């Protein structure tokens, strides 16, 4: 492998300068560990399920006990291929597993099986929006590797223990070029990558459980200077901490440099309690790890047919789906982007449309009323008390004139709060049906006109407000059941 620092430097040539912070340009590159959603480990049959009793899910292979041999999990490779295809990367026809040697209590076997010189996924890019600015972050690579165990510190008894359940869990480490130029861009990248891996289903994306962990490499430089020395913030497992950590790190580095101190390459941890980053160890170089090809594993060969089969089974990606919503349903690009925030949300929209909802109305309800309620209750669309079929029915009832928009909101509220489970039943029970009988409506209008001479006179004198007041009176007299459009039309005719 060529000298990584020089490679990164060369890749940055000709890139536009980012926004400056106190005269410094910020440079960020990400390494993300996505835990692959296989049932068993990357080289053994042990379960990957989260939350088991410590040390009940690590087998002899995960611990590399003498006499055992690792066997590649095909599902993990397939997921790596899926990611590569989703991000426009090259899938290496032949890649190599290597041993990364280091000592750590949670790695009793003394080495981690990873990929070094030849990773399975090479190149590719992630594109996303920061506000209304389109950004593209290039990937260097994504490689397969096994996770280590976990140290558990039981402060209350003053002891630490090792849980090896996580040892051998399949990871895909996704590495970017140092292409990001601000905290906002870095967080947006991480969110987009998270969306993609969960969308294609290769990772459950659960950040609290550690299924999606980001390392942010941060450096600063004067515009036009060579890349500065980076510090790597490890294991950011929430977007909020990610933002706080990177912001803090940028300020800290600038202050150090301004105070005349050079930045030392280091691995740092973010402490959410203090909001600060703290050096954990000085950074190792690749040479420290004594990488060598793992003698227990043959090179990973991926035939073109396999890649093509995976390609043919790939789900439609969020970008393509959003474009389709714009072209076939006439949605705005903004609404389409909102609806493709997650597979579940897009599926909900698709289901509502398939059940007969007008796409624009379905989009308005989902990105408006429903999004607001999901947010307020902090729940996901999968937990929404109103399913897509009921939303569609509600929209159909608005469209066919059965209920007004105002009544629809009442119906929706009854469904959401669990008061009832069917649109028609609520309409019936609450007597929300709009008046469709125009002679009954005319009687009401005549009554209103007979007692509102002042408004009539004002309307004739050209005051729009007076007309609205009359509509309001009619709506009130009909107990909200009149069709406002019909009221408008009838009133206009009657007033001449």
Summarize as ranges the residues that interact with Mg ion (CB under 5 A). Answer: 31
Q: Which residue is nearest to ligand ADP (CB)?
A: 29
Contact 97, 111 (CB under 8 A): no
What CA–CA distance (Å, rounded) separates 40 from 48?
Answer: 5
Stretch that binds ligand ADP, among 34-42, 69-77, 174-182, 459-467 (CB under 6 A): 174-182
What CA–CA distance (Å, rounded) separates 338 from 370?
Answer: 12
Contact 344, 382 (CB under 8 A): yes
Q: Which is nearer to Mg ion, 78 or 232 (CB)?
A: 232
Asked if 487 interacts with ligand ADP (CB under 6 A), we say: no
What is the CA angle 203-327-341, rounded to 5? 25
Contact 57, 46 (CB under 8 A): yes
Asked if 30 interacts with ligand ADP (CB under 6 A), we say: yes
Asked if 230 interacts with ligand ADP (CB under 6 A), we say: yes
Instruction: Give me the residues paired with residue 142 across strands.
Output: 121, 174
The 409-448 contact track toward ligand ADP, x by CB under 6 A, reads ----------------------------------------
For residue 37, the SS3 value is coil
Least separation in angstroms between CB 215 and Mg ion: 5
Asked if 177 interacts with ligand ADP (CB under 6 A), we say: yes
Least separation in angstroms between CB 392 and Mg ion: 48
Q: Which is nearer to ligand ADP, 175 or 326 (CB)?
A: 175
Alpha helices in 200-302 (DSSP H): 239-258
Q: Is 461 left (phi over 0), alpha (psi -120 to 50) or beta?
A: alpha
Exactly one of 119, 124, 168, 178 binds ligand ADP (CB under 6 A); that residue is 178
Least separation in angstroms between CB 149 and Mg ion: 19
Strands 231-236 and 266-271: parallel
Stretch that binds ligand ADP, among 51-59, 120-128, 212-220, 389-397 (CB under 6 A): 212-220
Asked if 125 interacts with ligand ADP (CB under 6 A), we say: no
| Cβ partners under 8 Å of residue 310, min gap 6 | 78, 81, 82, 85
What CA–CA distance (Å, rounded) separates 372 from 382?
Answer: 15
What CA–CA distance (Å, rounded) separates 112 from 109?
Answer: 8
What CA–CA distance (Å, rounded) separates 56 from 64?
Answer: 16
Exactly one of 35, 95, 112, 219 binds ligand ADP (CB under 6 A); that residue is 219
Q: Which is nearer to Mg ion, 31 or 316 (CB)?
A: 31
Least separation in angstroms between CB 31 and Mg ion: 5
Q: Which is nearer to Mg ion, 281 or 372 (CB)?
A: 281
Asked if 176 interacts with ligand ADP (CB under 6 A), we say: yes
Least separation in angstroms between CB 27 and ligand ADP: 4
């Amino acid at each position: 492998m060529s000298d990584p620092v020089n490679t990164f430097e060369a890749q940055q040539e000709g890139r536009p300068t980012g926004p400056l912070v106190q005269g410094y340009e910020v440079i960020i590159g990400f390494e993300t560990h996505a835990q692959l959603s296989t049932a068993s480990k990357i080289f053994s049959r042990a379960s990957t399920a989260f939350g088991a009793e410590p040390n009940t899910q690590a087998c002899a292979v995960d611990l590399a006990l003498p006499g055992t041999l690792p066997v590649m999990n095909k599902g993990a490779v397939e997921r790596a291929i899926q990611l590569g295809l989703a991000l426009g990367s090259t899938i290496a026809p032949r890649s190599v597993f290597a041993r990364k040697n280091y000592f750590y209590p949670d790695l009793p076997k003394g080495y981690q099986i990873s990929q070094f010189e030849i990773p399975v996924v090479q190149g590719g890019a992630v594109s996303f929006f920061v506000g209304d600015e389109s950004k593209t972050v290039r990937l260097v690579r994504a490689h397969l590797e096994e996770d280590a165990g976990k140290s558990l510190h039981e402060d209350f008894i003053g002891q630490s223990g090792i849980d090896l359940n996580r040892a051998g869990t399949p990871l895909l480490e996704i590495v970017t070029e140092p292409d990001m130029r601000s905290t906002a861009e870095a967080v947006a990248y991480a969110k987009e990558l998270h969306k993609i891996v969960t969308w294609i289903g290769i990772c459950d994306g659960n950040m609290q459980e550690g299924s999606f962990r980001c390392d942010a490499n941060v450096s600063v430089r004067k515009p036009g200077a060579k890349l500065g020395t980076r510090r790597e913030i490890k294991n950011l497992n929430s977007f909020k901490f990610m933002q706080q950590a990177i912001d803090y790190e940028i300020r800290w580095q600038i202050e150090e440099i301004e105070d005349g101190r050079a930045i030392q390459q280091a691995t740092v941890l973010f402490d959410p309690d203090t909001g600060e980053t703290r050096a954990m160890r000085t950074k190792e170089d690749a040479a420290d790890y004594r990488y060598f090809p793992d003698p227990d594993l043959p090179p990973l060969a991926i035939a073109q047919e396999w890649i093509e089969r995976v390609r043919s089974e790939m789900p439609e990606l969020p970008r393509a789906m959003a474009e389709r919503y714009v072209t076939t349903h006439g949605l705005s690009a903004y609404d389409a982007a909102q609806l493709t925030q997650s597979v579940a949300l897009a599926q909900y929209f698709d289901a509502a449309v398939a059940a007969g909802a007008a796409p624009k109305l379905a989009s308005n309800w989902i990105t408006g009323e429903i999004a607001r309620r999901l947010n307020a209750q902090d729940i996901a669309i999968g937990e929404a008390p109103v399913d897509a079929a009921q939303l569609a029915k509600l929209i159909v009832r608005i469209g066919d004139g059965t209920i007004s928009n105002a009544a629809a909101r009442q119906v929706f509220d009854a469904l959401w709060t669990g008061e009832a489970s069917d649109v028609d039943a609520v309409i019936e029970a609450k007597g929300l049906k709009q008046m469709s009988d125009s002679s009954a409506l005319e009687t009401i209008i005549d009554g209103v006109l007979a007692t509102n001479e002042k408004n009539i006179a004002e309307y004739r004198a050209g005051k729009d407000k007076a007309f609205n007041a009359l509509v309001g009176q009619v709506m009130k007299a009909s107990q909200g059941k009149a069709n406002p459009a019909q009221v408008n039309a009838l009133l206009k005719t009657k007033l001449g």
